Structure 1
Amino acid sequence: MPNAATGTRAAPRPRRLRRLIGRLLALLLLLPLVAILVFRFLPPPMTPLMLIRVIEGHGWQRDWVPHQAIAPALAAAVVASEDNLFCEQVLGFDFDALSDQVDAWSDGGRPRGASTITMQTAKNLFLWPGRDPVRKVLEAWLTPQIALLWPRRRVLETYLNIVEFGPGIYGAEAAARHFFRKPAAALSSREAALLAAVLPNPLAWSAAEPSAYIRRRAATIERRMAQIRPLLACTW
């Protein structure tokens, strides 16, 4: 419809709507990329999970430390427990594990998960807890960006500083001081294995008061650590 004041024709509404949607999509795509580039060098101030736990009343214990201030034993324990192919993944995915989970799902079984440390870093840094499809799609979108833009050392350093080790307890330094009354740099292999053992369910399991199951799990992780440590030259 012509504009009486200027004599020009206004853009049809569908076209303006498409432009608006396009700009919003571009913004949604670019904002995480900018954040990923910033967090490659700077510690993230907070994560969605931390905010959720504060609202739930769990408090907030966290003290970011550089990788030099974290015992290498904890890096070995986490890799041995969570992702023993961490150094080999170009895009941050374990494609063999993902294929196994797809096969299990197609056969009517229940997939047990194939989440790598890079995937967990993406989830912990930007997303909310849960297994809903939207979150999984976003995790899959963010993971390769982190894997390609960050060195392995930064991925593991960030993961060890933001992962939840207990209710309201985030990162290696806070966990080491809360559970063992020592800095993260002084963690023993056994203590590191206990911390790694509780990661699948940190709200229910305790590294300081481990159940028989957690003690057995930690012992298995500690045995694997001897095999993992020589491979961690990509990060430590």
Structure 2
Amino acid sequence: MSTKTKEKALRIWRIVKRTLLFLFLFQLFYILLLKWVDPPFTLTQLGSLFTGYGLKRDYVDMKDVSSYARLSFIAAEDQLFPDHNGFDWKSINKAMEYNKKKPNRVKGASTISQQVAKNVFLWQGRSWLRKGLEVYFTFMIELLWDKNRIMEMYLNVSEMGPGIFGIEAAAQNYFKKPAKKLNRQEAAMIAACMPNPKKFTVKPLSRHVASRYPWVMKQMAFLQNDPDIQRILQ
């Protein structure tokens, strides 16, 4: 290899290193910033806007969200949320075994933390690249945020209907009231639309939501006195 070729290769390598360092520092700064500041937008929200579903959202503080709403999503989506470090390994193993047996019917096992990592920092999809990045961002938010901030972010950025993002927008659209005033049944109905709120609609009430929300309410009653969950509900 000639001297000029070596020098060119070194210059390219320096540029690559600087670019990677910049990207790492930028994403670290952004994760830390979002510990206190709500994201201006997410890729999923932009996708909803540009594909014709629209974008309805209204970020609110945790104190402005009914405790029933918080409890309903823990009951429906991630009952071990207060206890795990971002990953429910038992459920992940079960999902992997299920997907091996039935490859045409993919079953997920994402925790609330993983869903926040995906919804805030990444895009929708099932590629290995996205899943790998999801693991990284889940680890980082569990390290740098607390559980209350993760739950607050989840309730603000998750899609809860076609073009409807966050519990406040869902409460206003479905029940004409703020999220702070949602009752147990209303909160359970919204949580029951996950993980496919475009298909499993709250209004009009889909068959899936109608059959699932009573189960969510039973799980809420079972979980509500758990001390670890109570810390998130207060």
TM-score under structure 1 length normalisation? 0.90
1:25 deviates by: 2.1
Q: What is the rounded CA distance, in whole Å, between the counterparts of 1:198 and 1:103 in structure 2?
A: 25
Aligned match of 1:199: 194
Q: Which residue of the partner structure matches residue 15 of structure 2?
A: 20
1:102 is aligned to 2:102: no
Asked if 1:235 is matched to 2:228, the reply is no
SS in 1 for 2:195: coil
Matched, 1:93 2:87: yes
Q: Give yes or no for contact 2:53–2:163 (8 Å, CA) kept in 1.
A: yes
2:208 matched to 1:213?
yes
Structure 1 residues 108 and 23, CA, compared in 2 at 3 Å: closer, same or farther?
farther
CA distance, structure 2, for counterparts of residue 48 and residue 103 of structure 1: 31
* Aligned pairs for 1:141-156 within 5 A: 141-156=136-151
Q: 1:173 aligns with which of 168, 174, 184?
A: 168
Superposition deviation, residue 16 in structure 1: 1.9
Aligned residue type for 2:19: L
Is 1:187 aligned to residue 182 of structure 2? Answer: yes
8 Å contact kept, 1:60–1:168:
yes
- In structure 2, how many angstroms separate the alpha carbons of the residues matched to 1:28 and 1:116? 26
How far does residue 82 in structure 1 lie from its aligned partner after superposition? 0.5
Q: AA paired with 2:118?
A: K
Distance 1:27 1:108, change over 3 A: farther
Q: Distance in 2 between matches of 1:99 and 1:157?
A: 28
Structure 1: gaps of 5 or more residues: 3-8
SS in 1 for 2:82: helix
Q: How much has 1:108 moved relative to structure 2?
A: 4.2
Paired position in structure 1 for 2:218: 223
The 8 Å contact of residues 152 and 234 in structure 1, kept in 2 or not, is answered as: no
State the Cα distance separating 1:14 from its structure 2 match: 1.7
Q: In structure 1, how many angstroms separate the alpha carbons of the residues matched to 2:119 and 2:93?
A: 23
What does residue 130 of structure 1 align with?
A: 125
| SS of residue in 1 equivalent to 2:160 | strand
Q: Distance in 2 between matches of 1:55 and 1:218?
A: 31
Residue ranges of structure 2 left out of the alignment (5+ in a row):
none
| Cα-to-partner distance string for 1:155-174 (whole Å, 9 max, x where unaligned) | 00010011101111111111
Match of residue 6 from structure 1 = none
Cα deviation, residue 46, structure 1: 0.8
Between the aligned partners of 1:27 and 1:100, the Cα distance in structure 2 is: 38
Q: Deviations over 1:94-115 (max 9, x none)?
A: 111122233445x544351110
Residue deviations 1:76-121 (CA, integer Å, cap 9, x gap): 110111100000112x11111122233445x544351110000000
Compute the RMSD of aligned alpha carbons: 1.8
